[in-house]
């Protein structure tokens, strides 16, 4: 369990939209969720992100997370 703060400046979120366009987005805020093994990462979606399925990975300290997906609805 991570108990120390993680600076937002070291976290980058990589998004790949439905058109295959890749975006590296800087985290705005990173917070440890108390009493869990989770960390909350807040970031702003790019304005030109295509509608449809989007893949997301998180990169920090030279490590990359598993890939997650979410959907952008027009």
Q: Give the pLDDT confidence of 9-19 residue by residue, as tens digits.
A: 889 999 999 99
Domain ranges for the chain, please list them: 8-72
Distance of CA 4 to the CA centre of its chain: 19
Q: Could you give the percent of the chain with pLDDT greater than 90?
A: 70
In terms of Cα–Cα distance, which of 70, 58, 74 is closest to 11? 58
Pick the CATH number of 8-72 from 3.10.129.10, 2.60.40.10, 3.30.70.1290, 3.40.50.720: 2.60.40.10
**Mean pLDDT calculated for residue range 33-44:** 91
pTM (two decimals): 0.83
């Amino acid at each position: 369990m991570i108990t120390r703060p993680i600076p937002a400046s070291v976290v980058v979120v990589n998004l790949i939209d439905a058109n295959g366009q890749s975006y590296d987005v800087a985290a705005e805020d990173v917070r440890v969720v108390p009493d869990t093994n989770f960390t909350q990462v807040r970031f702003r979606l790019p304005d030109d992100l295509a509608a449809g399925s989007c893949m997301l990975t998180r990169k920090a300290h030279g490590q990359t997370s598993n890939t997650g997906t979410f959907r952008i609805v027009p």
